Chain A
Amino acid sequence: MLKQRIIATLVIKNNIVVQSIGFKRYLPVGKPEIAVEALNDWGVDEIVIVDIDASKNNRVIDSNLVKRLSTFSQVPLCVGGGINKLEQIKELLRSGADKVCINQEFLFSHKFITEASRVFGVQCIVVSLDILKVDNEYFVYDYVKKEIVDKLDVLLKKAQELGAGEILLNSVNNDGMKCGYDMELIREACFLTSIPIIAQGGAKNANDMKEAIGIKDLSAVAAANFFHFTEHSVTTTKSYMKKEENLPIRLETHIKYEESSFDEDIRLKKKDDEILSSLIFEIHEKEVI
């Protein structure tokens, strides 16, 4: 059966990866090339790369950056940032992107989404919606103008109607807050639309992801900040999720952490000294393809 995906999002500002907090503060993390390579090694299912300054500055995400990053990635890349012309999509797809992510332009021009999905195929077009919760209701938020646009259900249904292939659902309230995913938002969105949904915003550790993936209707969970701060973060997250509840995710890396256990913060516990000393004599040959 189709597995649910664990996706890493790289938020790019000035060509470096940053940690985003509440869509307001940005702290530097490092070079995107290194992040992409590491995430690939750790068995991530897909990578989203977003240039958050592009729209503001009336430019599009740099296709040369995408070209460089695609040499490090053997998983699909979804790229976004200021995309508002068909030629830009064509250039980005030629530069190694598999899908494009459209946020601002969806708010301005519904026609663009329809044209883009007609020319490049529905499966290439991801519409990204930033969601703000106000008085227990969900609204789509414009992060450039810093204002509410319309209700979640109106724009979600619209996106599907216009030809979006997937929805990337960002919780503005939970972004960078390490409070877990907005489960109510995820359930509501899954109910309102029949296209695949990727949830993002608030992941603190593997437990939060496990909780969100527990919503069977959700196609994928994405996290930006979370994956940057632990070694093998994707692998340990997947291993935890498989161990705890045998969730339908893909775990095919050479290292699976099958015999490992986790502490309350879902960090790997040290193996017993006996096991560690027996490991000294194990040979693991690198696989040559």
Chain B
Amino acid sequence: MDDYQGESGAGLLVQYAEAPFRRPLAVVIPLVIALGVSLALAKYLPRRYRAGALILVEGESVPQDLAKKLGAEPGRSQLQTLRQEMMSRTRLESLLQTLNPDLKESPRLNSMVEQMRGSIFISSRGKDSFSIEFEDASPRRAMEMANQLAKVFIEEAGQTRAHQTAGTQEFIEAQLEEARKALEAQENSVRTFKERNMGRLPEQTGSNLATLQRLQSEKQGVEATLRAAQARVEEIEKNGPSEPGVGGELAKLYDQLAEMRLRYTDEYPDVKSIKLKIERLQQQRIDAGTASAEQRTESSLENARLQVEKLQTKSDQLDQKIAEVQSRVDEVPRLEQELTTLNRDAAKLKENYQAMLSRKMQSDLGQKLEEHWKGQHFQILDPAVLPTIPVFPNRPLFILIGILAGLGVGVVFSLGLELIDPSIKSVRELEGVVPFPVLATLSRVAPPKRGAKPARRQLRSA
């Protein structure tokens, strides 16, 4: 009956941790094998040597912040740019053909370029220097290639900077012209808008309101005068003669006219007809030439009525003008919004134009800076020397890897053996396997220490 369910967490951990110590051969054998393999590899793998030239980035004559503003690229980012340029197929092909003219048009050129690309290493060394290294199976070739690459690098640096600056300036000029045209078009739009909406612009609101106020005041005056004239007419009619005649007919016509004008304008046909009759009667009376009291009263009445008519006409004109000015004022919010949008766009374009103009000025100055050669430049600080110690295979590293791999495999192997071991390993396991009490646990006897009495003497003394 096997009731053993397995060790507890801590017990299991201890059991597995002890596994490599319990099975030392399971660890030592893989370790020895791995170490042997790594030593063999370190001995027999083909060696590679690396030689490098140290290049100094000389300080600028112009302060760096100004050089940066003027478009001069700082050293580190330039390093990245030049690394890409150096690793390009074109540059490497050119370099290979320079070193070995027979390679031109050779089918092996492509593969050699790829191989070379993997053998070049460019890295920073401190703040103001970097190295160009070349790796090869031959130490002499590594040294020669490293020095050649350094020379090419420095030549390329100068050309790249010049090309870069010129290209930048051309681009900036094109951008500036584009910005200028856009700004001009926008300003024309603003001007056209203002011309089209003259009198209704937001800045003219003040004068429009003043005009409106003046017209309204004037209308009030005219209205008052009109009411007075109308009252006078009523008075004359009331106190004047009541007999029929031309004067009476005229008075009736005047009354009708006043009544019609309350509802209709002077263009109304009935109003026109009444006015025509009034004129005919007035002409008729003038023609008669009688200067009687009746005629004087009628004359005053006629004058009063004429006055009323004039005032009414004026009042209508004022209403028309007031409506016109009011409509201008009402349109201002809408026009203001449109004008604001146009002005904002114009402001942005102007800002952009100003920025481009400033950049162009900097670019012009940067180009002059390059022309006078006051920016960064490079020189070889330490040329490449003949390497004596190979970088590959790295013997200590191989040994370390061998040891670690061997130990790793050994530990895993011992753990595996521990896992598949079917024997009874602990008291807990024993109690789970056999249905009998465990009376005692006897420890393993360690070898005696030096100086301990042997058992024979101990028995004799017991």
Answer yes or no: are A and B bound together in one complex.
Answer: no
Question: Hey, which bits of chain A sit against chain B, CB under 8 A?
Answer: none
